[in-house]
Chains A and B, each alone.
Chain A
Amino acid sequence: MLTINNLKAAINGKVILKGISLEVKAGEIHALMGPNGSGKSTLAAILAGREFAEVLEGTVTYMGKNLLEMPAEERSREGIFLGFQYPIEIPGVSMVNFMKSAVNEHRKYKGLEPLSASDFLKLMREKKELVEIDSKLANRSVNEGFSGGEKKKNEIFQMAMLEPKLAILDETDSGLDIDALRIVANGVNKLRRPDTSAIVITHYQRLLDYIIPDVVHVLYDGRIVKTAGRELAIELEEKGYDWIKRDAEKNNSDE
C-alpha cells in the first residue's frame, strides 16, 4: 500500500529525515515510536502533503502512485487520513458544514453524487455513536472550544466519516485520560478492515495495549533504528529510549 524509500527531508535547511524506508502492506498496523524531535511528526506531515518540509531525496509510492506529486486534498481523496496531534480550530465553520464539504469532495472524486441532507445526517449519527461523541458537537464550530479529549475524539470521528485506506494517527493518545484513550482506540479498531492500514505514532506503549500493532518501528534522529514485533513496544516501555540512542550512536560512529 505504502512504500517509503530512503526519504530525506529538511525544514528551513535543517535535515530532519535522514533516509527513511518503510513498507506498509494492506491490513497492517505499524506503530512509530521514538523520543521527541526524532522526526515522527515531520514524516506524518510529509505523507499528508503539508508543504513545510523540503523533500531532498527518496520516493514515496502509495497504491502504485507517486505520492509526493499529489496535492494534499488529492491524497485525502485517495484515502490518506492524518489524525492531527494538535487539531486546528476553524471559528464559525460548523462540523456539519465542514464534514459535508469533505465527504462530498470525496464522493465527487469517486464519481458519486453528493449525499442528500438526510443521508448525510444519518451517516453523521452512525459515526458519532461509533466514537461515543457528544451529538451536540455537530453544531459547534470545528474544534473551537473543544477540550483536548474532544478534539482527539473528533479526529477519530472524521476518520470514521471519511473511511480512509491509510490512517496516520499522530500522537492521538497524547493528553487523553484512560477512558478517552479507550474510546479512541476502540474507534480505530472498529474501523479496521483487511484492506486498510494504519500508522500509529505514539510515545507510549499504553495505546498499543488497545491498538495491537503488527510492526513497531523506532525512529531516532531522522532514521528508523529498530524494527520488530509488538514486543519492542513493551521493551521500550520498560527500558526507555536510552539504549536505543546508545545503539544508534554506536552504529553511527561505526559507519
Chain B
Amino acid sequence: MEKEQNRILNDVTSGEYKYGFYSDIETEKIPKGLSEDVIRLISAKKEEPEWLLEFRLKAFRYWQTMKMPLWANLKIPEIDYQDIIYYAAPKPKKITGNIEEIDPDLKKTFDKLGIPLDEQQHLAGIAVDAIMDSVSVKTTFRETLAESGIIFCSFSDAVKEYPDLVRRYMGSVVPYTDNFFAALNSAVFSDGSFCYIPKGVRCPMELSTYFRINAANTGQFERTLLIADEESYVSYLEGCTAPMRDENQLHAAIVEIIAENHAEVKYSTVQNWYPGDKEGKGGIFNFVTKRGLCRGENSKISWTQVETGSAITWKYPSCILQGDNSTGEFYSVAVTNNHQQADTGTKMVHIGKNTKSTIVSKGISAGFSQNSYRGLVKVLKKASGARNFSQCDSLLLGDKCGAHTFPYLEVDNHTAIVEHEATTSKIGEDQIFYCNQRGISTEDAIGLIVNGYAKEVINKLPMEFAVEAQKLLQISLEGSVG
C-alpha cells in the first residue's frame, strides 16, 4: 500500500495545464522597468486625462515608501520590480474598414480558450470583456446592454466616456494606500473592466471578464470597477489563464465593487493561472486586492471563488458591510498541488446594524503544497445585531502538503453573534477502495470525493461555470493521492 501510495504521489500531476499555449501575436511592449517616466508613458499611451496621471503618480510615490508585506504564510522569492514589463499590448492590425473588427489571431486565441468573441457564437447569455496582457481587446454585447442603460466596457473606454463615474468611484473601496500591491496597481494599471448597473435594473445576462497573459516578462495589472446602483442586480464572472513559462509572472489586480441600497452583486471567479510545473518552476504570482462595499441598506455582495491556479495566491476578497441590514458572503474552494502556495480568505467588516456575513472556505491540498485560510471578522461598536457564520474546512491528499487556518475575530459589539467551525480531513483510503470496488478508478474516485467536498461552493457558481469548475478540480488534482 505504502509503495502504491508513493507511486501515485510521485506521479503527481499527470494532469496537463490545458491553457499553457502561447499565441504569436505582434505585441507592442515598453522597455522593462518602473519609474515615473514609465508611468507617464503608460498614461500617455492611453491618452489619459491629467487627473488620472496624477492619481498614478501619487500612488507610485506612495508605493516607493512601502515594503512588500511578509505576514502571509507564503515563501515568496524576491521580485525585481525593475525586471518587469509594465505595458504590453497586442498590436492592432490594419483596420479593414470595420472598426469593431478584431484581429483574427486574437480571435483565434480566445476561441482556443473557449471564449468566442463573436456575438453570434456567444456563450449562452454571457457578455465578455476580453483582456490580453495590458489591454481590453473586445467587449461583447455592449450595445445590447446599453439598451437597458447598463455600461459594460473596458476601463480605458470608461475613463474616456464616463470620466465622472470613474473619478467618483475609483479608489473609493480600495485606496492606493491600502497595501503594497494595491499601490503598485494604482500606479501602473493598464486596463480592466468597468461596469455600471443603473437604478432598478436587473442585468439580463452574466457579465464576465476574461484575463489572458500572453507576452513574456510582463506583469498584468488590471482593475475592475463594478457599481450596482439602487435596487439593481448583476452576476459577474471572471476567468484567467496564462502560457506555461519557466519564469514567474506577476499579476496584481484590484477589484472594487459598490452596492447601493437594495442592490445585489454576485462575483464569481474561476482562477486558473498557470500554476508552475511539478517541480515548482514558473507560474503566476497572483497578488490581488478584491473588496466590495455594501454601501446601501439591504445591499448584498457575494464572492464565490474556485482557485486552482497560480504558483502563489495572495488574495482576500472582502466585504465592508456599511449599510444597515447588508449582507456579505464568501464561498471559496482553493486547491493547491505540487509546490503551489495559497494564502487566501476574506475580511468581513460589520459597520451597519443587523449586518450578516457568511464564510464557507474549502481548502484542498495535495503534493508538496501549502494552503492557508486567513480570515478576519470584524464587528464595529455600532454594528448591533451583527451575525457571522464561518466554516473553514481543509482536505489533505497525501502527507507532504499542509493546511493552515488563521481566523481573526475582532468583536466590539456585545450583541453580535459570531460562529466559527473548522474541520480538517484526509481522503480516506477506505473511501477510495469503496469507489474502486464499484468499478471507479482511483483518479475518478478522488474527483468524485473532492467535488462532493466542494459542492456547497461549486453550487454557488452559475451553471456553465460550475461544470467547468468541477472538471478543473479533477484535472488539478490528477494523480495526487494514493
Interfacial residues, chain A to chain B (CB-CB below 8 A): 48-52, 71-73, 75-77, 81-82, 84, 87-94, 97-99, 101-102, 105-106, 109, 141-142, 158, 162
Contacting pair A49 B449 (CB below 8 A): no
Contacting pair B452 A92 (CB below 8 A): yes
When A and B form their complex, which 6 residue pairs have the shortest distance between CB atoms, in order from nearest?
A: A92-B452, A93-B452, A72-B436, A76-B439, A102-B438, A88-B434
Contact A76/B437 with A52-B1, A88-B430 known, Cβ cut-off 8 Å: yes
Contact A87/B452 with A51-B4, A77-B439, A109-B439 known, Cβ cut-off 8 Å: no
Contacting pair B437 A105 (CB below 8 A): no
Give the residues in chain A near B424, CB-CB below 8 Å.
Answer: none
Shortest distance between the CB of B439 and any CB in chain A (Å) = 4
14 sample A-B contacts, Cβ–Cβ < 8 Å, listed by A number: A72-B437, A73-B436, A73-B441, A73-B442, A76-B436, A82-B437, A84-B437, A88-B431, A90-B431, A92-B449, A97-B448, A102-B438, A102-B439, A105-B444
Q: Say which residue of B1, B442, B453 sits within 8 Å of A92 (CB atoms).
A: B453
Give the residues in chain B near A162, CB-CB below 8 Å.
Answer: 438-439
A237-B285 Cα distance, complex, nearest whole Å = 69
Contacting pair A141 B444 (CB below 8 A): no
A106-B444 Cα distance, complex, nearest whole Å = 13
Give the residues in chain A near B146, CB-CB below 8 Å.
Answer: none
Contacting pair B444 A101 (CB below 8 A): yes
Give the residues in chain A near B408, CB-CB below 8 Å.
Answer: none
Q: Say which residue of A51, A89, A101, A141 sits within 8 Å of B440 (CB atoms).
A: A101
Contacting pair A98 B437 (CB below 8 A): no
A142-B432 Cα distance, complex, nearest whole Å = 13
Shortest distance between the CB of A245 and any CB in chain B (Å) = 31
A94-B452 Cα distance, complex, nearest whole Å = 8
Contact A84/B434 with A52-B1, A101-B444 known, Cβ cut-off 8 Å: yes
Q: Known pairs A72-B437, A102-B439, A102-B440; list 18 more (Cβ under 8 Å).
A: A50-B433, A51-B4, A72-B433, A73-B439, A77-B439, A84-B434, A88-B430, A88-B431, A90-B434, A90-B449, A92-B456, A93-B452, A97-B448, A98-B448, A102-B435, A105-B439, A105-B441, A109-B439
Most buried by B among A50, A82, A89, A93: A93
B455 at the interface (CB under 8 A from A): yes
Contacting pair B1 A51 (CB below 8 A): yes
Interfacial residues, chain B to chain A (CB-CB below 8 A): 1, 4, 428, 430-431, 433-442, 444, 448-449, 451-456
A101 nearest CB neighbor, chain B only: B440
Contacting pair B439 A88 (CB below 8 A): no
A105-B445 Cα distance, complex, nearest whole Å = 12
A8-B453 Cα distance, complex, nearest whole Å = 39
Contact A106/B453 with A88-B431, A101-B448 known, Cβ cut-off 8 Å: no
Contacting pair B439 A106 (CB below 8 A): yes
Give the residues in chain A near B433, CB-CB below 8 Å.
Answer: 50, 72, 88
A50-B429 Cα distance, complex, nearest whole Å = 10
A142-B449 Cα distance, complex, nearest whole Å = 10
A141-B437 Cα distance, complex, nearest whole Å = 17
Contacting pair B1 A90 (CB below 8 A): no
B442 nearest CB neighbor, chain A only: A73
Shortest distance between the CB of B294 and any CB in chain A (Å) = 30
A48-B49 Cα distance, complex, nearest whole Å = 72
Give the residues in chain A near B437, CB-CB below 8 Å.
Answer: 48-50, 72-73, 75-76, 81-82, 84
Give the residues in chain B near A109, CB-CB below 8 Å.
Answer: 439
B482 nearest CB neighbor, chain A only: A51
Shortest distance between the CB of B9 and any CB in chain A (Å) = 15
Most buried by B among A72, A76, A84: A72
Contact A105/B440 with A51-B1, A84-B434, A98-B448 known, Cβ cut-off 8 Å: yes
Give the residues in chain B near A106, CB-CB below 8 Å.
Answer: 439
B436 nearest CB neighbor, chain A only: A72
A54 nearest CB neighbor, chain B only: B1
Shortest distance between the CB of A92 and any CB in chain B (Å) = 3
A106-B454 Cα distance, complex, nearest whole Å = 26
A48-B430 Cα distance, complex, nearest whole Å = 13
A105-B451 Cα distance, complex, nearest whole Å = 18
